[in-house]
Structure 1
Amino acid sequence: MRIAIISDIHANLPALEETLKSIEQQNIDAVYCLGDLVGYNLWPNAVINEIRKRHIPTLAGNHDVKAVDIHNKGSKDSESYAYQIVGKEQIEYLSALPAHIKLEYQVLNKLFIVLMVHGSPYSNKEYLLEDKNENDFTDIFLDCGADIIICGHSHKPYHRILENPNKLGSYFHAVNVGSVGKPKDGNPKCCFAVITINKNSDFSKKEGVQVEFIRVRYDIEKAAKAIEESDLPNSYAEMLKKAY
């Protein structure tokens, strides 16, 4: 089974469209989204509608929660413009998104847990960065009982392997899938991850989890121009171009 995981689209429809085209070419069995459908760009409703049309299981990112809060409070200030343009029907969808998705796999007569989160198992605002202290990182795995944690939020992709301190020779896998619509790793191409699982996958081994990061070109100028011609800060366009 090949699973594609996308995250942090941030209302960037051109980026999402090209990413979905790429996924269709990858022989993918399932697609999941880790949230942040809105913010920073002009197509939040089209992005949400596309995700819903394709029935992609999706988490609530911190920006999705922010959009719901702004609508509930009726905020009209210029800083919240990216969230004000989210439609009522789309807000209702965002307000019902879950915080986690947990998958259980029975392989090699063992049960392995895959936990998908936006930020961390504790908060959609917490960053699980690649250089996080190893003991602190493994404590999170032990606390939530996961063998693999898949996250987004930082917009910086990585696959980090950590030894399980309670079971020598066994490993945890932390995967950040990067960002579709607003990369921050210096590469402006869309990013998503593909995880391959088969009947012989042993998630507890170092090489037991196959993770591939796929980068996709899209019309950055179209997305940046839409920002520059809107009430959004021009700095958002520069962020797209330079991926920071």
Structure 2
Amino acid sequence: MRIAIISDIHANFPALEQTLKSIEEQNIDAVYCLGDLVGYNLCPNAVINEIRKKHIPTLAGNHDVKAVEIHNDGSNDIESYAYQIVGKEQIKYLSALPAHIKLEYQTSNKLIKILMVHGSPYSNREYLLEDKNEKDFTNIFLDSNTDILICGHSHLPYHRILENPNKKGSYFHAINAGSVGKPKDRNPDCCYAVVTIEKTSNLSKKDGIKVEFVRVPYDIEKAARAIEESPLPDVYAFMLRKAY
């Protein structure tokens, strides 16, 4: 089973288009999205419509929640422009997105539990960074009763392996899928993760599952110029170019 994980598209439709083309070129069995479809860019409706068209299970990111709140409050200040351009039908979709996705895979030696979140199991605004204290990180796995935790939000891709303190020789896997539409790791190309789980996958080994990060080029300069020609702050274009 090869699972593609996309996250943090942030209304960047050209980036999503190229990412989905990349996914279609691979032997992918399922695609999941960790949220933040909107914000920072000009094509939130196109992004949402494509995600719906492809029937991709999707979580509510903090920016998706913010868009719903702004529409409910009727805010019309310029700082809210990226959210104001989200259509009513698309807002209705965002308002119904779940906070978590849970999967279970039966391998030859155990049931592997996967939890997908936007930020953390506790909040879509909490950052789970790669250098998080090991004890605090493993406690999240124990509290959530999961073996593999997949998140987004920070836009910083990583795969960190932690030993289960309650079961020596068994490992947890923390995965951040990076960002499709607004990377922050100094590489402006789109990023998504591919997780491979096989019948023989064994979490008593550090390499019990395979995690790949795929980078996809797109016309970044065209996307950045479109931002500069819009009411959005020019700094959003600079962020795209420099990937921070």
TM-score by length of 1: 0.99
TM-aligned CA deviation for residue 101 of structure 1: 0.2
Partner of 2:95: 95
1:59 aligns with 2:94: no
SS in 2 for 1:67: helix
Q: Indicate conservation of the 8 Å contact 1:41/1:232, yes or no.
A: yes
Q: How many residues align?
A: 244
Which 4+ runs in 1 deviate beyond 3 A?
A: none
Q: CA–CA distance in 1 between the matches of 2:204 and 2:149?
A: 13
1:121-200 aligned within 5 A: 121-200=121-200
Q: CA–CA distance in 1 between the matches of 2:35 and 2:147?
A: 21
**CA 1:73–1:91 in 2, change beyond 3 Å: closer, same or farther?**
same
Partner of 1:119: 119
Q: CA–CA distance in 2 between the matches of 1:27 and 1:10?
A: 26
Q: Indicate conservation of the 8 Å contact 1:71/1:84, yes or no.
A: yes
Unaligned 5+ segments in structure 1 are: none
Partner of 2:239: 239
Partner of 2:37: 37
Which residue type is aligned with residue 173 of structure 2? H
Q: Indicate conservation of the 8 Å contact 1:11/1:40, yes or no.
A: yes
Partner of 2:229: 229
Q: CA–CA distance in 2 between the matches of 1:153 and 1:159?
A: 15
Which residue type is aligned with residue 131 of structure 1? D
TM-aligned CA deviation for residue 204 of structure 1: 3.8
Q: Indicate conservation of the 8 Å contact 2:118/2:124, yes or no.
A: yes
SS in 2 for 1:11: coil
1:50 aligns with 2:50: yes
Which residue type is aligned with residue 166 of structure 2? N
Give a deviation string over 1:173-214, Cα, whole Å, max 9, x none: 000000000000000000000011111011342110100000
Q: Indicate conservation of the 8 Å contact 1:172/1:204, yes or no.
A: no
Which residue type is aligned with residue 41 of structure 1? N
- Identity rate, percent: 82
Partner of 1:69: 69
Aligned-residue CA RMSD (Å): 0.6
